[in-house]
């Protein structure tokens, strides 16, 4: 019952992610954060399909995704082109949410602090979608 899949099924049935759901996610389901792409994809999909979620879910998801993508995937401290391509469907287009725009900004900021820049294909679209949604905050560094 403490699997990410069971969690997703329960919140989809409820149609929302409550603060209590986020606490269970942190404490019981993924206490060490996101470790697999499948877990990440499941949570990113929830963000895009659940219409009501406590703010704590977005805060946790963005922090865990940055940790997973920048520090949990080799080579650490960077986001390579293959990882950026994997994230692109979540960061751009009609599926992009405010949380996904925030994730794109946070990934770019973290990669920039590491002395790298995210490959541009994912972020060019993400920055345009964020700008049109009026949630962008500052420039996103792009790879040359």
The two three-digit tokens of residue 14, written as one number? 């409820």
Residues 62-91 pLDDT 10s: 999 999 998 887 777 777 778 888 888 888
- Residue-level pLDDT at 121: 46
Are the C-beta atoms of 123 and 90 separated by less than 8 Å?
no
**Could you tell me which residues come within 8 angstroms of residue 14 by beta carbon, excluding any fewer than 6 positions away?**
21
Residue 86 burial (CB < 10 Å; 0-12/13-18/19+)? Answer: middle
- Higher pLDDT, residue 30 or 127: 30
Query: Which has the closest alpha carbon to 107: 88, 135, 94, 93?
Result: 88
Instruction: Determine if the pTM surpasses 0.75.
Output: yes
Residues 12-51 pLDDT 10s: 999 999 999 999 999 999 999 999 999 999 999 999 999 8
- Compute the CA torsion angle 123, 125, 127, 132 (nearest 10 deg): -170
Average pLDDT of every residue of the chain? 80
Q: Whose structure tokens read 């759901």? A: 21
- Percent of the chain topping pLDDT 70: 74
* pLDDT exceeds cutoff 70 at 141: no
């Amino acid at each position: 019952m403490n699997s990410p899949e069971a969690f997703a099924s329960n919140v989809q049935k409820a149609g929302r992610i409550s603060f209590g759901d986020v606490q269970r996610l942190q404490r019981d389901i993924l206490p060490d954060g996101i470790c697999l792409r499948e877990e990440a994809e499941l949570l990113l999909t929830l963000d895009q399909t659940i219409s009501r979620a406590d703010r704590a879910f977005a805060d946790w998801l963005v922090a865990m995704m940055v940790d997973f993508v920048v520090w949990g995937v080799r080579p650490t401290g960077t986001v390579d082109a293959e990882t950026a391509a994997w994230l692109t469907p979540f960061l751009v287009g009609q599926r992009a949410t405010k949380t996904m725009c925030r994730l794109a900004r946070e990934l770019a900021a973290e990669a920039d602090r590491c002395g790298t820049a995210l490959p541009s294909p994912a972020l060019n679209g993400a920055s345009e979608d964020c700008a049109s949604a009026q949630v962008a905050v500052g420039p996103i560094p792009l790879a040359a």
